[in-house]
A and B are shown apart, each in its own frame.
Chain A
Amino acid sequence: MIELLASLIILTVGAALSYKDIRISLVASIVAVLAMMAGGNAYSALILSVALLNIFSLYAMRQNQIAGVDYALVAIMAVATLYVFMVDDLAMMLVLFMVVSAPTYLLVMVSDEKLNVDVGIKYVTFMVIATVLFIIGAVLLYSATDPLVYSLAFLMLIVGLSMEVGIAPVHEWVPDVFASADPIPVSIIASLAKFVPFIIAYKIIIATATPSLWPLLIVLGLIAAVSMFAGNIGALTTNEPSRILAYSTIANMGYILATFVAVTAGKEYVYFAIAGGLLQLFVNSFGKVGYFASIKNGGTSLIPAYILAFSFIGLPPLMGFWSKLFIIYSLVYSQFIWLAVILVLNSAISVPYYIRLARLLGTGWKFNLMSAIVLFASIAMLITLIPPMWFVDLVSLMKGV
């Protein structure tokens, strides 16, 4: 708790002092996130990496409208993401949900040139509905006694979650926002902002699970399947990199949603499911940061481009392989084999457009900050050269699981 307070103070002071020199805010934000990492496990280290990549990519567009404050916004999102690992009471979780969601409303409109208000309106509309559904659903789940109310609450939570992160069939904001907004804020939305909704949803569902869950799990599985197909098939004929990435996000969110069906399985499979989901979130984060950075940069070297592509496709020994492996493992042992098959099929369908993406963006190396970010993002994909069973053990440390 004390670390939380300290971090918040540091980043606020830094944001305030940023009128003098934005680099004060830069440093203060980084310090704030580091301060929050008191516990220090692999999860925090990875979140720190994502946050750092996001902060530094903001430095590359330091002429934006809210220069200085933007670092603090990212820092507070990172702090919240780190803190959510350790909480399990509903009130705090919902607060953290808002803390992560709200900064993105502002960030999405920010750019080097003029403010993107249209995009902001579309985005905020969706987010507000999402938030409302999510919160009502969460609260009702905790107090539901009647199976009918429980079902309603459960599905409201899921639909809220879907709209928040961009799962079909309520994904319509994703392609438009990803294509029109500035790549760097988009990379923040596409990476850091996705963790908290999923983690909170995991905790809530596990805490409130009842035996009457099974038809709802099938509906959930269907939604996940629809999202996977819509994302992957939609990306096949797209030629614009940011749109391809939008559909890729939709598909990846589908993969992660699929892990929810394992919550009623045995303890071991739940760990694999959540580990798979989290690892997939990391894959998604690093990958999107890397690719959006290269879009902003006008291209990058072939090797990082292909490493990111192969990780998304799921080639061993990159991170993307392990995340999908854990997900499939948990699905198969929860008797949702059809969903596992669909996931594998979708991985296969996704190959052409990732390769196309790598080819479109792998044009040439430039020595600047953006390229460094891409490089680090692709290196992050390689950490699973050490098989990540340590990640599964990590999940068991998560409070409320």
Chain B
Amino acid sequence: MSEVVELPMMTEMLALLFLTPVIASIPIAVAWGMHPRPDWARKLPVLSVAGLFVSLCVALYILFNIGELSPEAEPVKHTIYWLPEFNINFVFIFDYLSKLMGALTALIAFLIGVYGLEYMRDDYRLGWYWFFFNLFTASMLLVVYSDNLLMLLIGWEGLGIASWGLIGHWFRDDDELTYVGILKRKVAGLDMFWSPSTGGWRAISTIRIGDMPMFFAIGALYFLTGNINISEIPWAGLEEKIGVAGVVILLVAFLMGPFTKSAQLPFSEWLMTAMTGPTTVSALLHSATMVAAGTYIFMRLSWYIEPWEHHLLSYEYVYILVLFLGLVSSLYAALVATSSLERKVLLAASTMSSLGLMFASAAASYWVGKFAVLVAFWYLITHAFAKATLFLVAGHLIHETHDRFLCGDTEVAKKLKWAFVATVIATIFLSGIPPFTAYWVKSGMDGVMHHLEHDFGLLPLALLVVISAIYSGFLGKFLSMNFFKGKKVHLHLHGGGIMSTAYLVMVSMLIVILAVILTSHEEPFKEFVKEGLLTSSFAVGVIVLLAYSFGFFKPQIKSPIGQFLSDRMYVMFLNDYIVPKIGWAIAKVVDYGNRLIDFTCHQAIPGMFEVYSHGVRFIQNGKLERYLQIVVGFVLLIFVVAVAAGWMT
């Protein structure tokens, strides 16, 4: 299934790719911990960014020099042997998905790293920040390039711990600017504001709940097939081995990891409160890469399972689940984003919405074929650049306005020109307004959903159009409430050169992609253009444009429904009330068990021994009469036993 290609120096290059970022961040991590902290410590982040640059170079080399860049090309694999007898080795795969995704990750990480040099310049905990930032990048690259599920898990766990460390970066919880929600506000007794440390906890605990079934699923896959390389597992043969129900359970267990990591319902709350972390973190992890890891894994799985070829019942059930989970999550998130009052929470909800669409589109591949996966993948790429740009702009705005809520009028647009330009480009290119980048990709998605007409009627397509409209609406709102119709704010202008450069380069990638789509004769771009030129697609594009304009000119409508949506339909009760209550109930039961064991070992058993001991010693009253009574009695008893024994044999 894959060609055996000579890859000279590949092991060394991979070492560079994964290890340079981590090693480059060790100087600042160590220097920051020294007492007293040396003055030159604040200059060391440059080293970390240099490490990211090295990774970027390697990723680009892999993109352009290893194998052919085509969806139909054979994947190229590189194996570092570890336990060949068990078929567990470090297997790296360079196929269409991993090459592009790797380059995307490295580029975005590098740009945000550069942005972070200025954004985090005066922070009090740089060692921690840069170490986890680079660890995250290395882990994400490991996830992207791994064919081996065990190695992927290592990267997966690295993502989780880096996410916790970075979200909870401002652990002192002393800055109102770092919180999510309106402070001191409560609904039905539950706090509706979250601190950075709470945010970090919510992230890691939710992700963990997904990781556990994923571990078991990987173990089960190894047990059933003796293979844990995604491209080699005989996916089609599983149904014979464990039946339809077995495969459904296995796959859903496996997908719990991606669902929690990509914040689909009901695991979405952590992403919203992950906004307590620095904006660079939100841009890298929670828009472009980490949360996309879940969808990326699903796409990679679909790429190799090829469910459109086999048409097995178990896969049909799973893919229906993913399709509608994605669509419903997307709709939920779009509604929440529409009514958000905070810059970053709006963007976080919008990310969740996009992730849902990625899942849905990739799931549609069961009925549509590989093209659906390609649509999802290019939407991921487009979304990554656009959303990262918007987050970086939001960070810049928060820095300059000292306010995390949506605010700013035309004065801001004039004073922060480049932020305004970047926002305009990013929102228009992402919303799906023709003829800009996302329009073509979204048209592909419309086509995919339309194809599902035979199985599900017009429901998927209708949902997609509604979601697209709402999405576009809040993008317009974002632009409006920060640069046009928001309330007046006082600006503290200082610097911003490096930051602007970073997000301008980021947003220009969207233009690059647009150029590629329009000029390339390769798949899938040809198909995107074909879909985009259809009248139906154009009609959707017009709806989207109208929604954008509506959001731009009327960004705020105060109503009870709006408050309900702004409170995220009270899903946080699941995280902050229901699940903790279940946990406490379990703890109580375990406590009873503990107390029972305690009682048995420290009271029941010793007491029993004491009673028997006194009993044994009680016989000794010093009088020979009693002793002889016992002896004679025993001897007579023995005679009886002897007779019985003699009789038996």
Name A's B-contacting residues (CB within 8 A): 121-122, 125-126, 129, 133, 146-152, 154-156, 159, 163, 169-170, 172-173, 175-176, 212, 214-216, 219, 230, 233-238, 247, 349
Contacts and interface: CB of A to CB of B under 8 A. Distances in A.
B86 interface: no
B638 A176 contact: no
B183 interface: no
B631 A234 contact: no
Contact of B614 (A133, A148, A163, A237): A237
Interface in B598-631: 609-610, 612-614, 616-617, 619-620, 622, 624, 626-628, 630-631
Contact of B627 (A155, A172, A247): A172
A275 B648 CA distance: 32
List 6 A-B pairs, minimum CB-CB distance, nearest first.
A148-B646, A151-B646, A234-B616, A212-B649, A172-B627, A237-B613
A152 B635 contact: no
A146 B646 contact: yes
Contacts of B614: 237
B643 A152 contact: yes
B624 A122 contact: yes
Contact of B619 (A133, A156, A172): A172
B616 A230 contact: yes
A176 B643 CA distance: 33
22 contacts: A146-B646, A152-B646, A154-B642, A155-B638, A155-B639, A155-B641, A156-B638, A159-B635, A159-B638, A163-B631, A172-B630, A175-B617, A175-B620, A176-B622, A212-B646, A215-B649, A230-B616, A233-B616, A234-B613, A234-B616, A236-B610, A237-B613
A122 B613 contact: no
Contact of B628 (A125, A149, A150): A125
**Interface size bucket, B side?**
20 to 34
Contacts of A159: 634-635, 638
A126 B631 contact: yes
B631 A155 contact: no
B645 interface: yes
B647 interface: yes
Given A152-B639, A234-B616, A236-B613, 11 more contacts: A148-B647, A151-B646, A152-B643, A156-B638, A163-B631, A169-B634, A172-B620, A176-B620, A215-B649, A235-B613, A236-B610
A212 B609 CA distance: 37
A172 B626 CA distance: 9
A309 B147 CA distance: 61
A133 B635 contact: yes
Contacts of A219: 638, 641, 645
B394 to A, nearest CB: 67
A154 B635 CA distance: 13
A154 B638 CA distance: 10
A345 to B, nearest CB: 12
Contacts of B613: 233-238
B624 A155 contact: no
Given A172-B631, A237-B610, A151 B617 contact: no
A177 to B, nearest CB: 11
B649 A147 contact: yes
Nearest to B626: A172
A71 B624 CA distance: 30
Given A234-B613, A236-B610, A237-B613, A170 B630 contact: yes
Contacts of A176: 620, 622
Contacts of A149: 646
A150 B245 CA distance: 67
Interface in B569-585: none
A197 B627 CA distance: 22
Given A122-B624, A237-B617, A216 B645 contact: yes
A37 B2 CA distance: 85
B627 A147 contact: no
Nearest to A148: B646
Contact of A215 (B622, B631, B645): B645
> Which of B627, B642, B649 has most A Cβ within 10 Å?
B642
A238 B634 contact: no
B642 A151 contact: yes
A165 to B, nearest CB: 14
Contacts of A349: 609
Contact of A147 (B634, B635, B646): B646
A144 B48 CA distance: 96
Contacts of A175: 617, 620
Which of B616, B643, B647: most chain A Cβ within 10 A?
B616
A122 B648 CA distance: 37
Contacts of A156: 638, 642
A180 to B, nearest CB: 9
Contacts of B641: 155, 219
A150 B645 CA distance: 10
Contacts of A152: 639, 642-643, 646
Contacts of A169: 630, 634
A106 B357 CA distance: 102
Contacts of B648: 215
A172 B616 CA distance: 10
B416 to A, nearest CB: 77
A222 to B, nearest CB: 10
A122 B643 contact: no
Contacts of A125: 624, 628
Given A121-B624, A125-B628, A237-B614, A170 B634 contact: yes
A156 B245 CA distance: 69
Contacts of B610: 236-237
Contacts of A216: 642, 645
B105 to A, nearest CB: 59
B627 A122 contact: yes
A63 B622 CA distance: 28
A235 B635 CA distance: 25
B607 to A, nearest CB: 12
A262 B314 CA distance: 61
Contacts of B642: 148, 151-152, 154-156, 216
Contacts of A133: 635
A117 B616 CA distance: 26
Nearest to B633: A169
A178 to B, nearest CB: 11
B104 to A, nearest CB: 64
A129 B631 contact: yes
A212 B644 CA distance: 12
Which of B622, B630, B646, B649 has the largest count of A CB atoms less than 10 A from its CB? B646
